[in-house]
Structure 1
Amino acid sequence: MHRTCDFCGDPYPTWTLVGGEVAAVAIGTAGGLVQNFGHAWAACATCQTYIDDGRNDKVVDRAVQVLGFGNHPEARERIEQLHLAFLNARDPGRTLITTTAWPATAITARELPKVRDRLARFYHGADNLPTALVDTDARQQIAAGLNRSRLFWIDSDFTDLAEYAAQRLPDVTISRDLMPSTDGLLVWSRPVTGRQIAAASWTATSDGWHLVNYRTIGGGLDGKPLQRLREQVGWLGPMSTVQVHEQHLLPGDHPAAALLATWLLVAQQAAEVTTAEVDKALRKTYARTNRPAPEVRVVRIRADRGATPPSTRPASGDPGRSQTSRFWVSGHWRNQPYGPGRAHRRPVYINPFLRGPDDAPIKLSTTVRMLSSRKPNPETHE
């Protein structure tokens, strides 16, 4: 559902407020009309900043300006009546809107410890989340998990590979050895999949894990509203969560598919993991609170996996036929046996490769494939 700020019409509402039940009655010669505005209103970050500061007049001014009623004193008066009828009866508290499609905001590897700490503080705080997303016990578990989590930043090439692989992911059985750490927060260099997922976290519980997807928030804001949002919430807003347990089967089209694909690629040693330089001021902040210096792991494609040797195997389903050309086989998943007695199966990603005799020409195609092993600066995303 596409929502806007109920005060000014801003397309990026941030909070849901509960106040007075507001209705407007219009009476004319032909009869009357009642418009019910309800008791739950959405507020954008700017309007919420004015409300927090007790400047309801600024909320009205912003609405009048945005709606183009600056030269109509009577219109301003009517808008003020509606706003004050709601705000003067407002209940304490507010709920973060998790469905707003914010513009993407880049998060660098160096920023990741601060992003994690702000997100954990939000979970520990008093601001509400939709009850369908996270209940009280789960939020405290996730907050505690974030505080002890390992941090992973996925570079642009590996992000491309993970997104492509996630689109073809088979059903995956969750297991402890699938995850690169017991608790973790993972950020891709850009949002992935059509859901625009920017990050994901996993938190161990007594009977499994909480998996949470996040989008970046605050894109396009500046000044005090942005500063206030960063202080109160941070850079990431939860989108969805699921609780899983050992040997839980998740379908390949699950919202956590991008996270699962990234885990699987790391587990099959397709990744090269290095450590990012963390801001000096941030290290000092951790030292003052007797916390160990944060460590951010940067995940890239392994340099020795950038190409796959040509295969001389004949085409599948025609073992006796002599091949006169080589052709590309697209990247795909294959179930590989593992564990005691090789009784379990785990998807393993097979990179695109050439099939056919070594000396045969490559069949022409309009498709271009690239698997890069370059090492870009994680701060520039280039």
Structure 2
Amino acid sequence: MARALARASRAEAVRLAGVAQRSRAIGRDDLAAALDASVRGMERGAADVEAAELFWVTGPMARLAMDASQDVPAILAADAPAAHGLMVFAEPLPPWDTTGTDGLALRDGQRAGIPYHDPVPVDALSWAITAPTHPAHAQAGAVIRVELHTRPERLPLPLLGHQCPFLVPFTTITQPIPAALDAGGTVLAPAGVVSASDHIGVLALLEAAWVLMSAPALATTAPAARARGHGNGSRRGPCDVSVIDVRPARRARLEPDGATAPSGRRLTTRHVVRGHWTHQPHGPGRALRRLQWVDDYLRGPDGAPITTRDHVWAWRH
């Protein structure tokens, strides 16, 4: 998928470069300049995919990351498993509302610019973390560029003149990082427009996935069986695949007998502490901080009765 995506991006760059040359020949330098920018974007996207670490995410793990992403406080470059990545989902993420970017412009043969405003399912995310290049981002430590991809068959017509049969990029998000991802956070889109919270949701999902897959307390990583062939008798080299397994069930971690509450009083019951994010001290003198997920656990002395804080109204006939 990654190789086909890179080839298609380079082919689209060649096609657009030819259109830009014809635009200059008829005196449309303004159109040619816009096409040149698109050419650079396509070439950059191809290079990013070629350099990307590859991740395949199952449906349950995508839902787990989406659940954990609801209260991610920030996105940090240090948490990324690689500077370039392509994350493909076995099941699509919720559809992306294209009206915020004025929809998509599809193609019908030689006729381009056909408007399309329906939501588009997200089948993959690619990212690239680079040094700031835009003057507006000069104070940032880094910049992350995220492209949203969908499968071509989800669109009624092609989006690009040359597009990969597996994935097609349709939206790009650019954000200086580190960045806070609270409700008041903002994300700067390529056109310089401050976007809505759905862009923040994409960044939060990436941050949650990065941390959850690398947390030793939550996941284990092991090499997969090295498979050969495609089932049709052909032979190829062994697949280099590492499988990340998240714990199959929530952990029930009990604090020592006689535990005390933050107020200093002795606890006489146990209660569930909801999973949450924390800034874990580490490094020399524990002076550094990294984002850490703390799973649900039981707080209180061993053997004490469990109390609940939520009341549920069961409404039935």
TM range (shorter): 0.5 to 0.7
Paired residue secondary structure (1:295):
coil
Q: Which of 148, 164, 169 matches 1:213?
A: 148
Q: Which of 92, 100, 112 matches 1:191?
A: 92
Task: Give the distance between the partners of 2:235 and 2:82, measured in 1 at CA.
Answer: 21
- Percent identity among equivalent residues? 26
**CA deviation after TM superposition for structure 1 residue 150, in Å:** 2.2
Q: Which amino acid aligns with 1:235?
A: F
Match of 1:249 in 2: 179
Note if contact 1:193-1:258 (Cα within 8 Å) is conserved in structure 2: no
Give the 3 Å change call, closer, same or farther, for CA 125–366 of structure 1 in structure 2.
farther
**CA deviation after TM superposition for structure 1 residue 143, in Å:** 0.9
Provide structure 1 residue ranges, at least 5 long, that are not aligned to the other structure.
1-114, 368-382
Task: Give the distance between the partners of 1:307 and 1:331, measured in 2 at CA.
Answer: 10
Q: Which amino acid aligns with 2:67?
A: Y
Larger radius of gyration: 1
Match of 1:235 in 2: 166
Match of 2:297 in 1: 353
Match of 2:107 in 1: none
Match of 1:259 in 2: 206
Match of 1:271 in 2: 219
Say whether residues 1:158 and 2:61 are aligned partners: yes
**CA deviation after TM superposition for structure 1 residue 352, in Å:** 0.9
**CA deviation after TM superposition for structure 1 residue 251, in Å:** 1.8
**CA deviation after TM superposition for structure 1 residue 174, in Å:** 2.2
**CA deviation after TM superposition for structure 1 residue 275, in Å:** 4.5
**CA deviation after TM superposition for structure 1 residue 125, in Å:** 2.3
Task: Give the distance between the partners of 2:165 and 2:130, measured in 1 at CA.
Answer: 24
**CA deviation after TM superposition for structure 1 residue 147, in Å:** 1.9
Task: Give the distance between the partners of 1:283 and 1:262, measured in 2 at CA.
Answer: 35
Task: Give the distance between the partners of 2:289 and 2:233, measured in 1 at CA.
Answer: 45
Match of 1:300 in 2: 245
Paired residue secondary structure (1:218):
helix
Query: Mean Cα displacement is larger for which, 256-265 or 195-204?
Result: 195-204
Provide structure 2 residue ranges, at least 5 long, that are not aligned to the other structure.
17-33, 97-120, 133-141, 183-196, 312-317
Match of 1:171 in 2: 74
Task: Give the distance between the partners of 2:238 and 2:49, measured in 1 at CA.
Answer: 15
Q: Which amino acid aligns with 1:116?
A: A
**CA deviation after TM superposition for structure 1 residue 274, in Å:** 4.0
Note if contact 1:153-1:298 (Cα within 8 Å) is conserved in structure 2: no
Say whether residues 1:148 and 2:78 are aligned partners: no
Task: Give the distance between the partners of 1:283 and 1:206, measured in 2 at CA.
Answer: 45
Note if contact 1:174-1:249 (Cα within 8 Å) is conserved in structure 2: no
**CA deviation after TM superposition for structure 1 residue 340, in Å:** 5.1
